[in-house]
Structure 1
């Protein structure tokens, strides 16, 4: 094709103009996107971020109540699980309230692990614009009391964030009512109101102790009891598998004790599996001693139901379940197996349970054998540490079944763990990390497929 100089010049100009228009279009698109992000960030900065990390559900409930108070005063809020937040979220936030509990000796709760590993560990956020308040929940019987809340506070300050007021600490072994009143006082300043609703939990009801039997007479361990309770005649008791109760012993009315529920409402009564605590001087634990020994059948028990969202079945209803526990931790697993049996669906269940000796410590043996016969339990590994030549625990059995664990997870299974924090919980976490890998276990936690009720 033969073009004269004028034609070549015209074509060149068209290319230049087209290129400039394309560049202008790209610039305008990016400019508009930046403007939209700026407007979104400005909107976020006008609201309060309420972030929580909760193991048993109590911190989550307090975060929700915090939102309710601020909304009543017309303040915009954004409620989020801590693990759903990243560094950029915090960098675009000017006002935040954190409600966090601590798991064991200073570790984050399961729904705070991702934040701790990805955001805190990176240490890259710049938070000079952030002002925050902190409500920390913990148990002073642990040496790292409120350890995660304190670590989070230190990290926020190191990144430039400024506290709005001194941290408020809730000690499960102390006066929780006074601590929560202190938090409400700070919220009242923020909301500009003094008529915040009462934050005391549901009132305690007078249930009746209707049955009690020892499950392990002759055991080398402390006695463990099956206990049944009936609600008052005018109360329709409703709970879900995985939930807890709080019990007030008559001699210790300010310190409720949590117990995992071992039954479902259709059983007709609420069941517990309680180990009798014995001190070195021979005296019994206040709550366990009262429930298992001092209180007579027919006695009144002051208690209330407590939702445990993190250990409910939730979105795992149709998934296979791997249920792992030891000792009285069988209670929380038993409630899930009862619910699965009652539903007549989702019968792919695998129970791994550990105790001392088969002769004495096979708790609820009849239930487990019946579930095996009826295929509610596809697989059951009952581990008795004192019966073999060498001691074997649930984490050891899990490691020996590594390929099966991986296959169940590939099939979509969720893992539920109930039992002792010391020894079992950490041992199982190490075993699962070895079997599945740290990234997979973190993903399961994020997806709600790795859930723990440990104490």
Structure 2
């Protein structure tokens, strides 16, 4: 505790400081504290550092790597080290051989791919037509252990720099979805290394990877029983949207979380592949250090649709066929570019990727639906080569049988949470984006939350596509749902979407926002979430009498306050 005289000085300073001054003060104090020896962590040396300049490059799909890069640059500067920060798309690639202290924060997404903005940077490093003999480096790799190629891009960059002559000064740190502690620990080790102080780093393996500390993974796995699977769309709809309920003993989750499901491949397609390649479906092969029959691999383990261009090229190289660049299903490849002998296909098969889990925002409430989890799944239908085809997981889930078992895991989402019970919320969730807000409303109904709730929902047709219509109307009648505005785009000549409804109610919506309401978006990233954000900026600009720059700054402030959150895909 501070003596009374010192405490009064601090209180006087805080009471008269602006928000910007408080933020500066917070950072300054963190810097002061970080220069003191920590008894429970890595100490960062005080005094003049041995290195005075570093470069940090980030590659991000969701903004996490960028946020960490900015945070770490500020931390470095507080320790007397000038840090230059670049997005991977802004970095001058010809500067790589000149770099002395170089740190990469890189995300992996999809099938082990680099973020869109980082592809040119990643491809240049992978080509490797240069030397980085002067470089001392380390890599922070962000990913999701749900996916087979976890942190693939960061790992490849780390290994490539070593091959090109770079010296790794801190082992690569691979981070799962709950990355903050690991990321901060990594940068503390970097600072210690830059200050020539020994860091209590984990033992590194032969390939330079840090041995991960034993810790609880942020995802809990369950086996549940399917109790309901119904199509929410009525007759005449162009869509199939399934409401699925799963009972699972001891399930724990929070509103805003998702569940991950690994689908199985269609049995007929598996049978056709076995027939076309003449392999023995009962023969056992090793895949990821486990043994499975070829049928089991094709049915439950290996992704056989929409193969990446890299895997298609591997298939072409193995079979000797000239296959045009593109993404193909495995069945299309074995039909049009057949293998010569079954053993050739077996070698190709074990080199393919595992099936990735698909994430679905939870549509239920732990308070209102105890022991259950609900999801909404829109069946993905598309045409290829004149044939109607379906998305792997949405087709699989649409066929789940009631009373059948289903494995899944809970994926936490700490960036999409309800505020305090007395706070107002505005929710924009067209289509399956309604999932999170059915969860929010059910939770607020069950807990008796006093905050107001305003929903914007959109779909194609009122008569056939108003998902959860009866529930929404009941919540509206009982006062749980304070306001609801709907947009059915195909029910009139001119298409109307949720952003149009927002603009129609712009003045009232702005009053809610300046009154402290939190704003949520859930659903398709493009173009919906972009259009909704642009509409929100227009409303803040118009009714707040601000310039567009001031409106953007206000929206950034809402993000910092945790009042503007998105769950988009």
TM over 0.5: yes
- Provide structure 1 residue ranges, at least 5 long, that are not aligned to the other structure: 1-34, 61-79, 108-115, 121-127, 154-160
Aligned residues: 362
- 1:23-422 equivalences in 2 (<5 Å): 42=35, 45-46=44-45, 82=68, 85=71, 88-93=74-79, 131-139=102-110, 145-147=114-116, 164-165=137-138, 168=141, 170=143, 175-177=148-150, 179=152, 182=155, 186-187=172-173, 191-194=201-204, 195-197=211-213, 202=219, 204-231=221-248, 235-251=249-265, 253=301, 254-266=355-367, 267-268=369-370, 269-280=372-383, 281-293=387-399, 295-313=400-418, 315-422=419-526
Counterpart residue number, 1:125: none
| 1:101-148, Cα deviation, whole Å (9 max, x unpaired) | x9xxx99xxxxxxxx9xxx9xxxxxxx996534241323599xx4145
Query: In the TM superposition, what is the alpha-carbon distance from 1:413 to its structure 2 partner?
Result: 0.4
- Classify the secondary structure of the residue corresponding to 2:108: strand
Query: In the TM superposition, what is the alpha-carbon distance from 1:306 to its structure 2 partner?
Result: 1.2
Counterpart residue number, 2:127: none
CA contact (8 A) 1:55 1:310 kept: no
Query: In the TM superposition, what is the alpha-carbon distance from 1:53 to its structure 2 partner?
Result: 10
Counterpart residue number, 2:559: 445
- Provide structure 2 residue ranges, at least 5 long, that are not aligned to the other structure: 1-27, 37-42, 47-55, 92-98, 123-133, 159-169, 175-185, 190-200, 205-210, 266-299, 302-354, 541-550
CA distance in 2, matches of 1:337, 1:36: 41
CA contact (8 A) 2:261 2:358 kept: yes
The Cα RMSD (Å) is 4.4
CA distance in 1, matches of 2:31, 2:482: 54
Change (3 A) 1:96 1:369: farther
Query: In the TM superposition, what is the alpha-carbon distance from 1:224 to its structure 2 partner?
Result: 0.4
Counterpart residue number, 1:431: 535
CA contact (8 A) 1:244 1:259 kept: yes
| Structure 1, 275-284 or 379-388: larger mean CA deviation | 275-284
- Classify the secondary structure of the residue corresponding to 1:242: coil
- Classify the secondary structure of the residue corresponding to 2:562: coil
Change (3 A) 1:434 1:292: same
Change (3 A) 1:152 1:86: farther
Query: In the TM superposition, what is the alpha-carbon distance from 1:298 to its structure 2 partner?
Result: 1.8
| Structure 1, 362-371 or 212-221: larger mean CA deviation | 212-221
- Classify the secondary structure of the residue corresponding to 1:309: coil
Give the alignment's TM-score, normalised by structure 1: 0.68
